[in-house]
Structure 1
Amino acid sequence: MFVKDGTAELKRVLTSPPTYLTKADPINEISKKYQFELLDQSKLAAEYQQLITAYQQAGITVEQLPARPEMTNGVFARDFGGCVKEGYILGRFKEPIRFAERKAYEAKMQALGIPKIVEVKDGFFEGGDFAFLNEKTIAVGLLQRTDQTGFAEVQAGLAAYGYQVYPVPADARYLHLDMCFNLVADHLAVAYQEGLPPAFLQLLNQLEIEIIPVPEAAIFKHGCNLESLGKNRVISLKQNQAVNQALVAHGMEVIELDITETLKAGGGPHCMTFPLSRN
């Protein structure tokens, strides 16, 4: 078994260093604000190491895909696909600047011995839009980078394994579903509720998932871009004080990372992490 769900104990992850991320390419609402400034390479490297150290201290095995000049955004490992118990889904990037990552991550997954069970070939699908709600229920965001065709390919491919996959359309400005919704424990999520469709909110209610609400502004400050480690532990950003306090009030152990430079390219801890093993 590879990944049981989104909140089981995280055992192994895949990441990639930001070695060639020299500037914020204007491919999302956040990075557009920083497109004319060079990113601080030493800060990027230190922030990536913070994440790796946090995983290692939590007893999580870290696999790394070596950085390449043609993969400037490769640090956002989440986006090449999704992983379930039986294997992984290979997505398809929409932005040309990310095309080279697809083959590189596919080769890495083969080297790691994780089977490809679904491949998106006609539409677009990125892992930032992939979210477990429970062991057999998955939500897929339809925002800026995943389209209806890609969703249908994921839905059909996973149906063969008994998964129910639901579409979650939302404002394209939010980029990915993990920027406005994130499950942090079996029945607890952080989300901007007003930006999510009523049908999805109803589904969450049926599944008895409580929501810690955040304002729309928090989306663009990575207030929802958290990474569950399982056992009521979650990685968050130091700057997310209101969210972090609410998580602690709900019995969560919050591991705060002081990451700011990487965020300028449009991704946070959740974006930087591709789960390989959760059980």
Structure 2
Amino acid sequence: MKIDFGAYDGATAASFAFEDRSFQLSGETDRLTDVLLCSPHYLAPVPCCAVTRQNLEQGLVTQVDEAQRQHGALVQLLQAQGVRCHMLTPDPDLADMCFTRDVGVSTPWGMMALNPAMPHRQAEVDRLTDAYRDWGVPVRRITSGTIEGGDVCVAREGLLILGMSGERSSAAGVEEFAAPFRAAGWDVLICPFHADHLHLDTIFCMVDRHRAIGCIDLLDPGFVRALSAHGVSLIPLPATVAPSLGCNILSLGDRRIVTSTDAIVPPLLRQAGYRVMEVDISQFAACGGGVHCLTQPLRRVSTGG
């Protein structure tokens, strides 16, 4: 398989031949085959979002042994579902490195390294690009503004959804990321939201090509109308699931969904006909991240429909 990165800058670029490392995807809910994770060996709460600040005020202290157990259970679940798990080496200076989603995104044209707004996460992008270089995987990097992976949803072929709070993902970063998609004729929907919710994936996630879950009272009404116009129906969730990361789910494709242990979201998804697998990610939720945050999909395979 060959991937041509020329689409990013409008110029003719050399194609890169891949074998097992041909990381790309065109849909958030296509069948997941490869994912990037990082052990939470150095997990610690960083007071850079409303959830973590509130939990720190209430005396939060992370339990690394428990976090590793929970992370290991997530890895085992993914492997049992046929997903190949690729691991980054944790760095003692990077407490949030286990939240791999935010620093890189696989696109139809290959891997894109992002540009986090928080200074303490910038070095994570360097670790990511180092790993890709070691694997022989070419990667392009966002250079204008800021954008984080929790605000990126490659919803399905032809539809890109981007969140923009102005704090984590800026207009400049969103537009640079969107440029190759627009050039390829994709529709791009941008959802503004309050920065207290950190990333779009804490209040909105796709569950299949034409359906999503979302905290309806926290989503921009114009965005909700645009979703409907693009044939995406919404399973409404109460705003109360956002702080506990209940909306932050991972589709494995084929109507399989990984969620956190939650009293609201899994029953709703099962009622809608999805196969739901629950995992305890309480140590990570206390630090502001969920299942979606802990996983960076590298490759998905379209199954049609």
Question: Which TM-score band applies after superposition, normalised by the shorter structure?
Answer: over 0.9
CA contact (8 A) 1:70 1:100 kept: no
In the alignment, residue 106 of structure 2 is paired with which amino acid?
C
CA contact (8 A) 1:155 1:164 kept: no
- How far did residue 187 of structure 1 move? 1.6
2:265 corresponds in structure 1 to 243
1:19 corresponds in structure 2 to 41
- How far did residue 212 of structure 1 move? 1.3
Match of 1:3 among 25, 29, 39: 25
- How far did residue 149 of structure 1 move? 1.1
Q: Sequence identity, in percent?
A: 28
- How far did residue 106 of structure 1 move? 1.4
1:59 corresponds in structure 2 to 82
1:152 corresponds in structure 2 to 175
Match of 1:217 among 213, 234, 240: 240
Bigger Rg, which one: 2
Q: Distance in 1 between matches of 2:134 and 2:207?
A: 30
Alignment of 1:82-121 (within 5 A): 82-117=105-140, 119-121=141-143
Task: Give 5+ residue unaligned stretches, structure 2.
Answer: 1-21
CA contact (8 A) 2:189 2:226 kept: no
Match of 2:206 among 183, 195, 199: 183
In the alignment, residue 224 of structure 2 is paired with which amino acid?
L
TM-score (norm 1): 0.94
CA contact (8 A) 1:214 1:223 kept: no
Q: Distance in 2 between matches of 1:172 and 1:62?
A: 31
CA contact (8 A) 2:52 2:287 kept: yes
Please give the per-residue CA displacement for 1:101-123, whole angstroms capped at 9, x wherever unaligned: 01111122233344324x22120
CA contact (8 A) 2:107 2:154 kept: no
Q: Distance in 2 between matches of 1:66 and 1:164?
A: 36
Q: How many residues align structurally?
A: 276
In the alignment, residue 209 of structure 2 is paired with which amino acid?
D
- How far did residue 246 of structure 1 move? 0.9
Q: Distance in 2 between matches of 1:162 and 1:12?
A: 27
Residue 264 in structure 1 maps to residue 294 in structure 2: no
1:141 corresponds in structure 2 to 163
CA RMSD of aligned residues (A): 1.5
Larger mean CA deviation between 172-181 and 153-162 belongs to 153-162
- How far did residue 157 of structure 1 move? 3.6
Q: Distance in 1 between matches of 2:266 and 2:105?
A: 26
Match of 1:205 among 216, 228, 252: 228
